[in-house]
Chains A and B, each alone.
Chain A
Amino acid sequence: MNRTLTPVLTATAALAATLAVAAALLALGGHSPGAVFAALLRGAFGTWDRFFSFTLVRATPLLLTGLAVALAFKARVWNIGAEGQLHAGALAGVAVAILLPVHSPLLVLPATLAAAAAAGALWAAVPAAMKTRMGVGEVITTLLMNFVAVFLAQFLVQGPLQEPRGVFNQTDEIPLAARLPALLPDTRLHLGFLLGIVIAVALWLYLTRTPGGFRLRAVGASPRAAEVSGRFRAGPVVWLAFLTSGAIAGLAGWIQVAGVTHRMYEGLSPGWGYTAIAVALLARLNPLAVVVTAIVFGALSAGGGAMQREAGVPEVWVRGIEALVILAVLTVDRSWQVLAGGGSRD
């Protein structure tokens, strides 16, 4: 219980510290901090609709990529490639949705989700193979695979997957059968958010309640020790972490298309795969806490939009404040660890 709650409090305290610094900066820049923060809160939580349609919709891709990163990091697999796996998943989902000659949602939805997960896993399989077979560091390989995926997406939406008119660099709209239904009526919140919650709970159960989860955490704590103990080999565990992480990130991409944008285009993601690292670390890699931190980031981003609209704060300021929050979180998190006498590392 403690482990779940601590990250939540970390997030809250960091937010408060950031508010103080940001307020000073905003005042210097000629903006009224009160009005700006009021806009932020209104944008993120002002009405139920804003919370469901804005904050939770924005939190969904961060939730899924955050879970992907948390799982990988838990196994000491430094997957920086969620961004690329997300693109791979989105492309595969769109391709299946557009090319599959079936129009029943009962078939199309599972098929597209499976394709997206498989593509994400495949994208992660390349760095996994390079790590386990050749000992190539995955920080570099997963990062580089991101560029390959982003450029592949650029090429596909200008070429083979481009809308039939061939005018804009985007795919056609996906058929109705491939779209994720709304989770709540009259909101933009879609089934993908629920799927993210289900995956979070499943990962948490897996990590804490199963032998497989124990092995994964053991390898994460010390791959050498796990090997030396002679009970199992680290290789398969690393593979499993890579593939599952990639699959979840792949789902994130397709779910964004199926639930929100309904087509694929260049620049689908504003860097969710990278923000996911902050989301996962802030949650101390605990899948249940990732749900909370993803919502915090979603709220921050939805509130950022309102800061522009209602308080006239330029976008660069908004992003600066978002960055301040991340810094504040890391600072508060670290100081708690020190104050608590070292603290645990998970």
Chain B
Amino acid sequence: MNHPPTTATLLALLATLACNVDRKQDDVPATDPPTPHVALLTSGPVSDAGWHAGAYEGLQLIGDSLGFEVSHQQTRTPAEFDEAFISYAEDGYGLIFGHGFEYQDAASRAGEQYPDVTFVVSGGSRPSANVVPLLFHLNEASYLAGMAAGAVTAAGIVGMVGGVEIPTAKGTFVAFEAGVKAVRADAAVLETFTGDWYDPSAAKEAAAAQLRQGADVLIHNLDAASFGFFQAVREAREGGSEAWAFGMNRDQNDVAPDVIVGSAVINIPAMFLRTATAWRDGTLGGVAEYAGLRVGAVEFVPNPAQEGVIPPEALARIDEARQAIIAGELEVPRIEYLEPEDDDPPSP
């Protein structure tokens, strides 16, 4: 071998670094931390101004309000889900959020392995003693948005543009449609799933296609792709047609105040804080947690910049329905995806 001296230098550098690192490691406090540790896993970037960002805000809120230590990891594949759950559990984290139904399998496996750790799965489907699905009933807010849409549409045609066709997304559309028809029974409803939460051009195309088919009020269930969706509605308005849009997931009224009538909002941070508080008080576990209107986890928020677009009498009806949902007198349609408890032994 005839390598230049740089090799040796680099190796020495690496060795030095490794040694330093080893010494550092000893300074890290051992297990049994005095403050509770809470972790969050997301499968997308927390800069999406939507689903993942809400979870990250929730995590920060838990840190600020309850004084817990918090940590976050973005994971790409289910193989990494297991790894992250195990790592956090091993490192003494007592409460771990997996933000999406996709974490259910890994959470169930980790739950068996670490009975003292509580795993919360947003949109999860299999509760157990220490695995808690967090069921966001965004369909309730979406139903109210549907009632508003039914009152606003002149053509009697409304459209819905979704990302990936998963039960939670589908559920918001089923409810939206029911809300529209509660106000205007003869309304026609169009539905498109682009297959992508993050592709604004696909969303724009799908929205434009629905507008061409005569729809004049559209709602979406997208992530970062919603910018394209709103652009399509904006262009329709600029072209002289009286088209309106609804926001979803986040309060998007300020994202496109010129075209949005209102938003079906999911308050993820508040729900995360509520969940962490219940965990601290020892009341979390065994069953899925309801996160809907009744606990302030979702809400329909009319856009203050477009006051008057929804007629006052419609607003009154919406408020009635809202009270009825909270009182448990009105059940909003949804897609059921909760499973009975597992009999199968979880995979190793």
Say if the beta carbon of B30 comes within 8 Å of chain A.
no
Report whether B166 and A169 are in contact in the complex, using a CB–CB cutoff of 8 Å: yes
User: Which of B72-80, B142-150, B237-245 is near enough to bind chain A?
Assistant: B72-80
Quick check: A312 and B71 within 8 Å, CB to CB?
yes
Q: Which residue of B lies closest to A187 (CB)?
A: B348
B316 touches A (CB below 8 Å) = no
Asked if A167 contacts B167 (CB within 8 A), the reply is yes
Which of B10, B105, B339 touches A13 (beta carbons < 8 Å)?
Answer: B10
Q: Could you say which residues of chain A place their CB within 8 Å of the CB of B39?
A: 309
Which of B20, B28, B76, B82 has the most chain A CB atoms closer than 10 A to its own CB?
Answer: B76
Q: Please tell me the size bucket of the interface on B.
A: 35 or more
List residues of chain A with CB within 8 A of the CB of B324. none
Contact A9 B87 (CB under 8 A): no
B125 cross-chain contacts in A, Cβ below 8 A: 167
Residue pair A310, B25 in contact (C-beta under 8 Å): no
Binds B, one of A96-104, A130-138, A214-222, A260-268: A260-268
**With an 8 A cutoff between CB atoms, is B91 at the interface?**
yes
* Residue B4 at the chain A interface, CB threshold 8 Å: yes
A41 interface hit (Cβ, 8 Å): yes
Tell me whether B79 and A261 are in contact (CB under 8 A). yes
Task: Check B13 against A20 for contact (C-beta < 8 Å).
Answer: yes
Is A305 a contact of B84 with CB atoms below 8 Å?
yes
Q: Is the CB of B79 within 8 A of A41?
A: no
**Which of B2, B24, B165, B347 is within 8 Å of A38, CB to CB?**
B24
0/1 interface trace, chain A 211-245, chain B, CB 8 Å (1 if under)? 00000000000000000000000000000000000
Q: A20-B13, A167-B337, A305-B80 are in contact. Are A154 and B21 (CB under 8 A)?
A: no
Question: A305-B73, A305-B87, A339-B4 given as contacts; is B79 within 8 A of A12 (CB)?
Answer: no
Q: How far is the CA of A154 from the CA of B194 in the complex (A)?
A: 13
- Count A interface residues, CB 8 Å: 56
User: In the bound complex, how far is the Cα of B92 from the Cα of A309, in angstroms?
Assistant: 12
Contact with A along B19-43 (1 / 0, CB 8 A): 0110011001000000000010000
A269 touches B77 (CB 8 A): yes
The reply on B65 being an interface residue by CB < 8 A is no
B21 pairs with A16, CB closer than 8 A: no
In the complex, which residues of chain B have a beta carbon less than 8 angstroms from the beta carbon of A314?
A: 46, 74
B14 engages A12 (CB within 8 Å) = yes
User: What A residues does B20 contact at CB under 8 A?
Assistant: 34
B148 to chain A, nearest CB (A): 29
B28 proximity list for chain A (CB < 8 A): 38
A269 to B78, CA, bound (A): 10
User: Within the complex, which residue of B21, B164, B335, B344 is in contact with A41, where a contact is CB–CB below 8 Å?
Assistant: B21
Residue B307 lies at the interface, judged by CB distance under 8 Å to chain A: no
List residues of chain B with CB within 8 A of the CB of A9: 3, 7, 11
B87 interface neighbour in A5, A13, A306, Cβ under 8 Å: A306
Smallest Cβ-Cβ distance to B170: which chain A residue:
A167
Question: Are B76 and A270 in contact, with the CB atoms below 8 A?
Answer: yes
CB pair A315 B74 closer than 8 Å = yes
A260-B79 in contact given A41-B18, A182-B348, A306-B87 (Cβ < 8 Å): yes
Q: Which residues of A3-39 have CB atoms within 8 Å of chain B's CB atoms? A: 5-6, 9, 12-13, 15-17, 19-20, 34-35, 37-38
**A12 & B10 in contact (Cβ 8 Å cutoff):** yes
A268 surroundings in chain B (CB, below 8 A): 77
- The digit string for A247-272, where 1 denotes a CB below 8 A from any CB of B, is 00000000010001111010111100
Find out whether the CB atom of A15 lies under 8 angstroms from the CB atom of B87. no
Q: State which residues 49-82 of A face B: CB under 8 Å.
A: 53-54, 57-58
B64 at the interface (CB under 8 A from A): no
Q: Mark A294-311, 1 if CB is under 8 A from B, else 0.
A: 000000001001101110
Write out the residue numbers on chain A whose beta carbons fall within 8 Å of the beta carbon of B46.
314
Residues of A within 8 A of B83 (CB): 53-54, 57-58, 188, 302, 305
Would you give the 0/1 interface string for B77-98, flagging 1 where the beta carbon is closer than 8 Å to chain A?
Answer: 1111011101110010000000
Residues of B within 8 A of A106 (CB): none
| A168 contacts B by Cβ under 8 Å | yes
Closest B residue to A256 using CB positions: B79
Partner of A12, one of B11, B82, B337, B344: B11
The 8 listed contacts between A and B (C-beta, < 8 Å) are A5-B1, A35-B24, A38-B25, A38-B28, A58-B83, A260-B82, A268-B77, A309-B72
Binding site for B on A (CB under 8 A): 2, 5-6, 9, 12-13, 15-17, 19-20, 34-35, 37-38, 41-43, 53-54, 57-58, 154, 158, 165, 167-169, 173, 176, 179, 182, 188, 256, 260-263, 265, 267-270, 302, 305-306, 308-310, 312, 314-316, 336, 339-340
